Structure 1
């Protein structure tokens, strides 16, 4: 290694650090040390470097750090020449004072010129500081900047950290950089595994660090621990003819809990498998950090525990893991058995006494609204309206179950199991579970048609009720998770290909919410909707018009329309991020959002089309032309100029005008069918062919002709072209 560059090791030893905070603390220390050195001009080679940590230590290992700063240049500006020198060219008191303060003769000063004129300046260079002298300040600065929400104090000291600090190693090359920190002094002595090697570990140089700790039963590299855990867990699972379930979250926590991980294959009584596997998996992963073993997607009676020691008697460790999990499983089995005795249907009786939201009534009231919405949506997408109502009526009943009371994450999942046990149709049981999808960012939407219907209805009511009750999110506050519900609703509609009028559905959900707030849950109103949907399903006739005519209360309808418009805009705002993640630019999104299509599926098809169009060579020119046309038309309308609906070919005077008219009419004729079929890609691809005619028109034709009839005819021609483009998107948005 270059004598001017040495490896750097900083290890901060502590009591066990908070598991979930550990990776973030390690990242912060690593970034802080690196940034602190670079800020001071110390060159850092961080090739392949990354944060190192275990539950008892945070470490930074950099392969190459310059041993000193580069030469430091400085400039100190003095008085301007017209002030510094008198008429005879001799120094004034201002210049003499500046030179004396700098410790030099005034004749040694240089001159520099800025916007105000020429002035004296002292330029100097000095050797850079030794990195060894800078490190204490760099380390202290990095530690002070670490994100520690609840610092801990110990002893009678003023300092604080995430956990009490026990030791500090600071090595630059083979030299110890001595410094005090929180009551201890740095040296080269690390610590081994608390149980396997409870003694100091000599670190000769930073390059020895990882191997020296490995010999002391500590894998300080989290990636090495992660790989070891995965390899051992999968091997243990294969030994019982299964596959381990290894989730990122569970794996990360086990990595942060261990220094020398070792997998132990365990088992439990097969009788517990009668309990829904989700409850058992939840217990193993969340409460115990164990890895369940599956076979063909089904839970087996095996699981893998991770010991933080290499035990001489694994059977003892195994027995301990099996002993600790048994009471939790016994509780889950008891809850499940008792819930089965009660039955899913009877659980729903208690929902009348559970408040959903003060202004919107009970959970039972919400269920009734969701059931009505589910029926309506089912008729519009070709699903079974009766089954949709039944699924909605049962979907919240498991909230009253003992199982969900103990395991809230099993909402819907428990309901599916209880519905199956009660003899409900399989599609109804599955929809109860799928109504919660997507449960989290990146989760799949519901897969079954009925599940999709129920997921949409549930989120519509939540959103419309939230808006009606004045619960629209502000800042970081979103107690009813309306942002997440809006995105889940939009994703379900778009990814299902449901061509639903979301504006009308938002209005209907708003009417139901407003009615609930003003008069309580109107059973008569909900019954009327049920009758209409049943009739529509039988006849195949759309139900929206009949339902719209139901509402004689014009105030409620108007309030619902207003909140429905706000809800639509709220959903579009959620879609900005959704499409940005898919690579859709802001201008492309705005080009479609400007039209506010009622159908989100239709919105998605327009987004696809505008993306394809934007990639065409003609796009930029046509976008600019559309922007110009739009401005021309707006100006004419502002002047009160009446633009005809059709082109009068007898008023066409210029060849370029005739060519554009022919091109526009041909393009409109060629795209009528595609536009009717919502094939927007085809529409814009065909319209792109008019570019040459548009360019020739603007190059050779004056739109605002002196003859009013000719001008009107030319405006009509441009309006025809602008209207056909505008039927897909406002492509002028693509113009810079």
Structure 2
């Protein structure tokens, strides 16, 4: 079977657009072929800054011929009394390319209709592709699409050529003034001009001959190898050789060549992060660090210096005669940027960090939410609530207050104005220079983390707490303003911030049970009382804001738990049992406890009993108290006695000693105790009419079951586990 090649040739595409466009192109092609019943074996996407490519392997030569049954009008409408066809019959037959004699009859609900058995001859693959491909190209969405010339088509960058080959035959189609053909283009500088392609199988090799590596993985391998080799030449090790920087340079080159550059040693007295930010975020350079990092005094310092005076840039040009000029040009640009950074770094320190408070009061956090000074006041108040709620030790509480008072002051420094990516880091550097304690310094630096998908959560406890408080305030404030993410649009990175909160609480603050629901409630109330939002045209619906925030965070929590390997039913059962935002580490423990429960027959019996209790109670609200005197049947008396034994011998002693259910071992003990009245529960349901006609008896039996349900739900809502309980 033939292979099909589609290449969309363009002006240089934005690096961030390419990976998403590749995935979208594959999805559109898959959906298009399946919708047309055209089978294929596999697909491969490729790309460079100047092209998006897809190759479909072993595509069927033509669609399968199909036969369908089309129901027409009732027979009595199609033929008159003498059996002569009416216009209804001839019209229906004609529309389906049949004669009246070819129509059949079938009964539907006691009425006989005429039926047309329509055979549709499959189209050739070339016909199908010519039909679907132009539509696919226009559906490759992205941000800031553009039009060019007098054309109506929108794309990320102007389309300059199209290749469309089914084996050795051109599948011709039109897109504006372009006609798809068999001619691609070589490297713009190293091998300009057209490349004639005879069939898809020679695509990769012929483009390589023209200095274009069309497979991103091939370019990545070249870049990684060359960067490592150049770093080793200066006895160093390349940094940032994974993640977004590597992906970006892969997508801005067609024929990569790594070039080693140098900068003056005097700039090494700047913090590593400052130098790296200039290199990575502004110049797309790979920094080079010492293989063996030397000790630089205090290991807790945020001013560590481990870089070498070198960098590696990736050029899209491998001409030997061009390398010196490329090196000098990049060194010149980097020198200017480092000089600016050096000036601002030392000039800022002429003013103490604490002296920036007045300037910060003039910096708006968000219109409608006050200044950054107001934000700091909110964070300090929120920290006070958290500290009291979790009984935070002074060794964490005192640095937390201080860090929150200082953490936003660097926003008005010249260095952050010049390099906004350094917010937090700059404040930490200046705080350390002024002698602030290490716990405060590290929290200032880390409270923005995770800053990106490549970043990790803060490693210090105070920084983790500050991160949760700061992100919670951001989420509540922006949700209150109605600035929720929609579709792919998330200008305030609220999804990342919500995921950051979840990650910090689950992975970092395992021993500090932060009540996220209480923090959200406090901030929702604060914004209602201290801003003008309540009197705005939108109004201020505190309950709606809270509900939306909870669901927004729970979506991220579900995703994280699934990534941890928990079954969907287990996750939903644990989340439904009680407010999961009350204690996120406890959610993980209960998921593990629930999985363990389902692995033994005794555990399954606990789940079955809990399921029966939950199903009979449902969502009904009954305020009746349990009355032991209303028990009349042996089965309900036995169950009540079993519960009393459980409560007296297990629950009350734990509560008296203030023992909560915290670890998997705690829940194993609870599950063992619950298993002791599994048999009485089953006997109760088998021998007692729970929903008795007598309202008092019915409510009393429900009240007894509610007492049990409370303790089952200490683990999970077992009604959500029905699919997993045999």
Question: Offset of 1:340 from its aligned partner?
Answer: 2.0
Partner Cα distance (1:13, 1:125) in 2:
39
**Equivalent residues of 1:674, 1:683 under 8 A apart:** no
Aligned residue for 1:407?
A: 419
Partner Cα distance (1:178, 1:592) in 2:
55
Higher mean displacement: 477-486 or 368-377: 477-486
Aligned residue for 1:654?
A: 634
Q: Secondary structure at the match of 1:323?
A: helix
Q: How does 1:308-707 map to 2 (within 5 A)?
A: 308-313=316-321, 314-357=323-366, 361-374=370-383, 377-378=386-387, 380-384=391-395, 385-440=397-452, 443-459=455-471, 461-462=473-474, 470-471=480-481, 473-474=483-484, 476=486, 488-489=500-501, 491-494=503-506, 495-496=508-509, 497-501=511-515, 567=546, 570-571=549-550, 573-583=552-562, 585=568, 588-589=571-572, 592-593=575-576, 595-596=578-579, 598-602=582-586, 605-613=589-597, 616-628=603-615, 630=617, 637=622, 642-644=625-627, 654=634, 657-658=637-638, 661-662=641-642, 665-666=645-646, 669-672=649-652, 676-678=659-661, 679-702=666-689
Residues 421-454 of structure 1, C-alpha deviations (whole Å, 9 max, x = no match): 1122222111111222333457433322322333
Q: Secondary structure at the match of 2:641?
A: helix
**Equivalent residues of 1:503, 1:568 under 8 A apart:** no
Question: Offset of 1:158 from its aligned partner?
Answer: 5.2
Partner Cα distance (2:11, 2:494) in 1:
41
Aligned residue for 2:297?
A: none
Partner Cα distance (1:453, 1:160) in 2:
46
**1:290 maps to 2:301:** no
Q: Secondary structure at the match of 2:394?
A: coil
Aligned residue for 1:65?
A: 59
Partner Cα distance (1:485, 1:186) in 2:
45
Question: Offset of 1:294 from its aligned partner?
Answer: 2.5
**1:722 maps to 2:709:** yes
Q: Please say which structure displays the higher CA radius of gyration.
A: 1
Partner Cα distance (1:243, 1:357) in 2:
42
Question: Cα RMSD between the aligned structures?
Answer: 3.9
Partner Cα distance (1:357, 1:120) in 2:
68
**Equivalent residues of 1:19, 1:55 under 8 A apart:** yes
Q: Secondary structure at the match of 2:312?
A: strand
**Equivalent residues of 1:592, 1:728 under 8 A apart:** no
Compared CA separation, residues 480 and 471, structure 1 to 2 (3 A)? farther
**Equivalent residues of 2:569, 2:721 under 8 A apart:** no
**Equivalent residues of 1:464, 1:506 under 8 A apart:** yes
Compared CA separation, residues 261 and 703, structure 1 to 2 (3 A)? closer
Compared CA separation, residues 607 and 236, structure 1 to 2 (3 A)? same
Question: Offset of 1:271 from its aligned partner?
Answer: 1.5
Match of 2:243 among 230, 242, 248: 248
TM (norm. structure 2) is 0.82
Partner Cα distance (2:185, 2:217) in 1:
20
Compared CA separation, residues 328 and 691, structure 1 to 2 (3 A)? same
Aligned residue for 1:17?
A: 13
Residues 645-677 of structure 1, C-alpha deviations (whole Å, 9 max, x = no match): x689xx776378437624761476235556633
**1:232 maps to 2:226:** yes
Partner Cα distance (1:134, 1:706) in 2:
68
Partner Cα distance (1:449, 1:492) in 2:
10
Unaligned segments of structure 2, at least 5 residues? 294-305, 533-539
Partner Cα distance (1:330, 1:184) in 2:
48
Aligned residue for 1:540?
A: none
Compared CA separation, residues 94 and 698, structure 1 to 2 (3 A)? closer
Question: Offset of 1:54 from its aligned partner?
Answer: 1.4
Q: Secondary structure at the match of 2:58?
A: strand
Question: Offset of 1:716 from its aligned partner?
Answer: 6.7
Aligned length, in residue pairs: 679
Partner Cα distance (2:91, 2:679) in 1:
75
**Equivalent residues of 2:635, 2:683 under 8 A apart:** no
Aligned residue for 1:299?
A: 307
Higher mean displacement: 393-402 or 492-501: 492-501
Higher mean displacement: 302-311 or 674-683: 674-683
Aligned residue for 2:271?
A: 276
Unaligned segments of structure 1, at least 5 residues? 519-559
Partner Cα distance (2:361, 2:272) in 1:
30
Residues 625-648 of structure 1, C-alpha deviations (whole Å, 9 max, x = no match): 22256369x68x57x6x523x689
Q: How does 1:20-59 map to 2 (within 5 A)?
A: 20-46=16-42, 49-59=43-53
**Equivalent residues of 2:607, 2:718 under 8 A apart:** no
Question: Offset of 1:93 from its aligned partner?
Answer: 5.1
